[in-house]
Amino acid sequence: MSRAEKRLKEGFEYLKKDDYKNAIKSFRQASSLASVVGRSELHVELAYFLAYEVAKYHRENQKKEYGNANEYTYESVNTWKAWDDISIAAVLVAPKDPKINELLQKFLGRNWEGIRFIRRYAFDSPLNSWTDENGSRYTRYTQTKHVQKKLGV
């Protein structure tokens, strides 16, 4: 396990406890680690993404505390864009926890079903139509498998 992976796990543990400041600190430390070509490069890019999203989410929560009228609403966000490698990596690295799943929905702009399917592509029992693919077409299943291999999970 690389140092970036350890920092990411530490950051997710802080998120479970609603300790956003320490989570941001852990993700920033993971993102500042020198990226080695291969597995940890994607971990470092994921740490950049998570540090930014958690900081934005924490700032919006503070606005609610102080009654600022210009709050960012996550409920209306659904990007409908294709999944990129960082989004898939966020789902694969994140623990299966209701609190983390709720935050992933907000950070990625996805619904729960999309996140569940990415986990199913990688870890659970995929459908036969997915496993019959030979990789000539770049579908979400083959992309997820590619990201899973890069992450080493």
Backbone angles phi, psi at 3, to 5 degrees: -65, -35
* CA distance linking residue 95 with residue 119, whole number of Å: 11
Number of domains present in the structure of the chain? 1
pLDDT digit string (tens) for 3-53? 888 899 999 999 999 999 999 999 999 888 765 545 568 888 899 999 999
145, 121 in Cβ contact below 8 A?
yes
Most confident of 47-56, 119-128, 144-153: 47-56
* CA distance linking residue 105 with residue 113, whole number of Å: 10
DSSP 38: T
Neighbours of 79 (CB within 10 A): 10
First-to-last CA distance in the chain? 10
∠ CA 106-10-110, rounded to 5°:
15
- pLDDT grade, residue 134 (50/70/90)? low
What pLDDT does 133 receive?
66
Rg (C-alpha) for the chain, rounded Å, is 16
27, 8 in Cβ contact below 8 A?
yes
**Domain of 108?**
3-151
What pLDDT does 64 receive?
76
Global pTM reads 0.81
* CA distance linking residue 128 with residue 33, whole number of Å: 40
**Two structure tokens written together for 47:** 């740490």
* CA distance linking residue 144 with residue 66, whole number of Å: 41
DSSP 137: S
What pLDDT does 63 receive?
80
